[in-house]
């Protein structure tokens, strides 16, 4: 099946501008064009766009994604290098997730404090330096 840039943008929740930017930056080198110069996306292109979005959403810089794309274009002899890039990124994402989990514990602790605060209390126990009845 073939899709327009607008259809793909809707499918992957990006703007057409972002898709054009990704193509300009070399992240979407496999997109074909029709006789009018319009981009034609196929199912495998959408999977590729989704991978690029995944890498961006998890913090991989565009330059690193470009390096990965360039290695993909070279072929099978770069399989191990590509695997290593994805593995290193996975480890970074796992570290971020762990850090976010630790932050969420602190946020939940503070929220619990606010949920337990009653109007009758003279001091905001969530902020001991602030007096409610001053």
Of the options 1.10.1660.10, 1.10.3720.10, 3.30.450.20, 3.20.20.140, the CATH number for the domain spanning 2-74: 1.10.1660.10
Residue 96 pLDDT:
97
pLDDT given for residue 116 in this prediction? 75
The confidence score (pLDDT) of residue 110 equals 84
Token couple for 34: 């029709």
- Predicted TM-score (pTM) above 0.85: no
Using one digit for the tens of pLDDT, what is the confidence trace for 31-58?
999 999 999 999 999 999 999 999 999 9
Alpha-carbon torsion (3, 6, 7, 13), positive or negative: positive
Domain boundaries, the chain: 2-74
Inter-CA distances, 104 with 35, 101, 111, 113, Å: 52, 5, 10, 14
């Amino acid at each position: 099946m073939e899709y327009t840039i607008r259809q793909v943008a809707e499918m992957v929740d990006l703007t057409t501008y972002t898709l054009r930017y990704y193509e300009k930056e070399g992240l979407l080198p496999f997109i074909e064009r029709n006789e009018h110069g319009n981009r034609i996306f196929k199912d495998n292109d959408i999977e590729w766009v989704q991978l690029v979005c995944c890498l961006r959403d998890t913090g991989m810089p565009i330059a690193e994604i470009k390096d990965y794309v360039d290695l993909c274009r070279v072929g099978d002899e770069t399989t191990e290098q590509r695997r290593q890039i994805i593995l290193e990124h996975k480890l970074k994402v796992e570290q971020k997730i762990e850090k976010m989990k630790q932050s969420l514990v602190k946020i939940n602790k503070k929220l619990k404090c606010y949920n337990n605060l009653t109007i009758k209390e003279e001091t905001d126990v969530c902020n001991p330096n602030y007096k409610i009845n001053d």
